[in-house]
Every structure is written in C-alpha cells, then in structure tokens.
Structure 1
Amino acid sequence: MAQPTVGILHPGSMGAAVAACAATNAAAVLWCQAGRSTASVERAAQFGLTSVATLPELLDRSDIVISLCPPAAAEGLSREVAGHAFTGVYVEANAINPERSRRIAELLEPKASVVDGGVIGSPPVGGKTPTLFLSGPATAAARVEALFAGTAVQTKMLGPEVWSASALKLSYATFQKASRVLVALSFGLAREYGVDQELLDVAARRRDSYLSEPRYIAKTAARAWRWGPELEEAADALAAAGLPPEMLRAAVSTLARWNDAKDDSELTLTDALDRLAQP
C-alpha cells in the first residue's frame, strides 16, 4: 500500500513532534500556515513539516488528518473539516471528554472514518516515548498504528468505541495534572509561613511524591493555559459520570492565575509562586 499523506491540525509542541514521527511512514506531512503564530511556523520548520496555504488544500491532499489542538478548539475545528466533506481518516487526538468525542464522530461520519486518540506522555523528542491510545473502527485505527510503526510514538488499540481513548486520557489527566496543581498550592502555603524548605525535606523522605519536585511548579505555570481547558473537560466527564467535579473546577480556577505565563520557559519557581498569590 502506498504511503499516506498526513495533515496535522495544528503543530503545537506535541502535535509537531507527533507529526514528525508520522513522517517516517508518510509520503508527506502537511500543515496549514494560515492564521498560525510565528512560533508555529518556526516549530513546523524545525520538524520538517510541509506548509500549505489553506485548510481545504490540506484536506484535499491528506489521507489521514490528526487533530492535536487546545481542547476548546477541537469541536470547532472538526466542524470546519466536516464543512469541507473530508473523506479520509480523522484522528481526534485532543484531550476532550467522551461526549465531545462522540459528537465529533457523529459530525464527520459516515464520510470520514473517525478514530479517537489520546496521547499520554511527553512529546516524542529527546528519547521520550509517549503512547497514542486509539479507539474506533479497527481498519481505520490500523492505518494510524501503521503510521507510527517503528517511531518514538507507541500505539495501543483499546477497542471499537469511539470514546474510549478520550476517557482514558482524561482519567489519567485527572490525577496527573491536578496533582501538580496541589503541589503548587502546598508550596505556596509553606512559603507564606516560611516552612517551604522543611516541606521539601519532608517530601524528600517519601518516594514518588510530586512534593519532592517543586521545580516542576514553574513548568506547570507555563502549561496552565493548556492544562486548564483539559481539566475542565475532565470535570465535565466526571459530572457526566455522576462523580463530583468540584475539585477539578477549583484546579482550573487555580491554573487561570498563570494564564499570562503561557509557554514561558524562563519562569522561575519564585515567579510562579508570586503569580499564584495574586488574584
């Protein structure tokens, strides 16, 4: 079978790295430059992606489209794709709740084959090997698995339900991301009372505690603009399951205090805690 042409919507830090892995088994990996930031242009060039002028051109040329964007944009983007009558494989790989995944599948099918996806792990650079969990139609999912064969992106099929991968992604994010928020609150409180070093000493005696990694607070702050919407999706999923979403909604409110630190790689622990203390 001929190698497929792949389109990536849109090449953020995760999307660009995943797309670069897909290029191993693709004829080309396309992205649409229209309306994208300078950072996106530089990132796409860094990973060797091929620019096209418009979304319709990308959709016309692509056999497989992978959507990896901020959660709030996922459904609107799928509507744009549906408006162009895309007929290939659409991989909905965003951190969105299962009900939203169902709606997107209903919007795009039967013209397109929709595969639900969830990436767990860091972007596949520098030796990192995230797993792309997949669910949905077996034939379409197998094409996605073949796309990443032999690359740093591992794949695992969960089953035929188009929402399973999203459910797993948000189940993991519920703990992993909210735990980081709690670490920030813990150190913010300890610093206020001058016992932050003592808290670190206590945490250092416990294995595998996020409290032993306070330096990660600055990274959490820089990613808050993405993590907040993801936890909002997870809160919706909890509510739909009859579970209390209040803790995650509170975490979203906490993360919002860092929204102006978007992707700030120079942010320090002190800066992050100072911003957290400002309403």
Structure 2
Amino acid sequence: MGAAVAACAASAGARVLWCPAGRSAATVRRAEQAELEPVGMLPELLAQAEVVLSLCPPAAAEDVARKVAEHQYTGVYVEGNAISPERTDRIADLVGHSARAVVDGAVIGSPPVGGKATRLFLSGPASATSLVARLFASTSVSTPVLGEEIGQASALKVAYTTFQKASRVVAALSYGLAYHHGVDQALLDVARARPGSYLLETDYIAKTATRAWRWAPELEEAADTLIASGLPDEVMRAVASTLRCWTDAKDTVGLSVEDALEMLRDSTG
C-alpha cells in the first residue's frame, strides 16, 4: 500500500523520498518500481520532506513516529495507519512538539494499482489537509476531509475495519463448517440469494489467511476503540485470535482455500 500510494503522489509531480536503510529486498524492489527517490538516512530525508506520510503495520506506528520526533521534524506529519483514535492522539502529541502540523489519515480501499482507486480520508488543520490533498490531485488516491479533529479519520478506519475484516473471518468460518460437512455448494446456493455476500467470495479465504499477520493487530485496535467508546470488545478479540491461527501463512504465494481451512483446524489441537 505504501509504495502504491507514494507512486500516485509521484505521478502528480511530487518529489517522493524514501529511506532504504534496513529495508528488505522486496521493499527496495517496490520502491524502485514506484520510481521513488532514495535518501541514505532518515535525518537527511526529514530535512528535505515537507510532508511525511506514515503507512506501516499498526504495531509499528508509534515506533515510526518516535523516530521522526527524535529528529525534531518540522513539516507536516500524516499518521495514516490503522490504529485507534487514542493512539493517534498519542502520536500527535509526540510529533506535534516540533512538527508544523499533524494530520490524521485513514486509507480505505485496495492499493491504487491496475486501475483500482483508494481513499485517504483526512482530519486535522485545514491548511495541512489541503496540502496533503494537493499531493494526490487527479490521481487514483482521493482525499476526502472529515473535519479538523485529530482522531476522526482513525475512528472511521477502525469502524470500517470492525465490519469488513471481521466479516471476512466469519465468512471463512462459515464456509469451513459447511465444507467439513459436505454442504459447501448448498451454502453458496443459499448465499447467491443475497448479492454481494462475502460467503460467495471463497477465493478471499486464502487472501485473508495471508494477510492475517496484519489484520489481527488491526482488530485488536478495533477492540480497544470499542471499549473506549463504551461498547463490548469480545467479538473483535475473538476474531483477532482466529486471525492469529493464520500467522504462518504470512505472504504465502499459492495458498489454497483448503490449505487455509486446514490451518484453522490444526489450530484447535
């Protein structure tokens, strides 16, 4: 997602920097394909960047922000990760001591490649959200602005994640149960009466498994946000636990639906 979003900004004429220090060969390859400009070390990058956009696994969001804050970054910092509004507030406090502004961002949609489009929802100071929006003008990344309150974009992302990702897991469990009893085709026939049902997208079960290492922390964030909103968190905790059964499937190429279901069965002992 990070490389694809960065490529859109570059296509709109922005000079897009990235730091290859300590990154994997796969990350380097994606950055090169996106035609991003490498900068040797983080302090050098921060000295040149008017805007920093953080897109990383949720667990790393505060570590990234902390490294940026240590160098007294003075530009606009966009916290674009799938984290709770409370964590976004902490990051805003951390980076905001030196940054000109902090913007709350939420990416919703597929990576903007191959004709696909995504939305980067923004909330924060109007002058800063306008600057970020200009970076993606006329690209596959649209930038709706929700308001000026830090936490609004994060809340939207977590709310959407609560439904979308949990629904994928529940659909996988439903199909797995039917498959075990030999009634999977009958289940799909029933689901066809409801167009758009995730039950019909059986191929996505394997995709869910390979992405589970990222999705589980997102749903823990969702559970934390539900509690902070005075709502029960047990369902999201259970879904996150189920996703962790697929941890070993991380980025596996060619994983079948049957393989993904077998991993769930194996997890029960």
Q: What's the TM-score, normalizing by structure 2?
A: 0.96
1:193-208 to 2 correspondences below 5 Å: 193-208=181-196
Question: Does structure 1 residue 59 correspond to structure 2 residue 43?
Answer: no
Partner of 1:248: 236
Question: Does structure 1 residue 265 correspond to structure 2 residue 253?
Answer: yes
- Could you tell me whether the CA contact under 8 Å between 2:210 and 2:246 is conserved in 1? yes
> Given residue 236 of structure 2, which amino acid in structure 1 is its aligned partner?
L
Secondary structure, aligned partner of 1:247:
helix
> Given residue 264 of structure 1, which amino acid in structure 2 is its aligned partner?
T
1:32-47 to 2 correspondences below 5 Å: 32-47=19-34
Unaligned runs of 5+ in 1: 1-13
> Given residue 76 of structure 1, which amino acid in structure 2 is its aligned partner?
D
**Please, which of 153, 163, 166 is the counterpart of residue 165 of structure 1?**
153
Partner of 2:73: 86
- Could you tell me whether the CA contact under 8 Å between 2:14 and 2:135 is conserved in 1? no
Give 1:189 deviation, angstroms: 1.1
Report how many residues are paired. 266
Q: What's the TM-score, normalizing by structure 1?
A: 0.93
Distance of 2:77 and 2:147 partners within structure 1: 17
Secondary structure, aligned partner of 1:270:
helix
**Please, which of 3, 6, 10 is the counterpart of residue 23 of structure 1?**
10
Moved more, 233-242 or 259-268: 259-268
- Could you tell me whether the CA contact under 8 Å between 1:188 and 1:277 is conserved in 2? no
Q: Percent identity?
A: 63
Partner of 1:174: 162
Following TM superposition, the consecutive aligned residue runs of length 4 or more in structure 1 with deviations greater than 3 angstroms are none
**Please, which of 21, 44, 57 is the counterpart of residue 70 of structure 1?**
57
Secondary structure, aligned partner of 2:107:
strand
Distance of 2:125 and 2:11 partners within structure 1: 23
- Could you tell me whether the CA contact under 8 Å between 2:112 and 2:140 is conserved in 1? yes
Give 1:244 deviation, angstroms: 0.6
Moved more, 48-57 or 61-70: 48-57
RMSD: 1.0
Distance of 2:174 and 2:157 partners within structure 1: 25
Partner of 1:5: none
Give 1:163 deviation, angstroms: 0.6
Unaligned runs of 5+ in 2: none
Distance of 1:141 and 1:27 partners within structure 2: 16
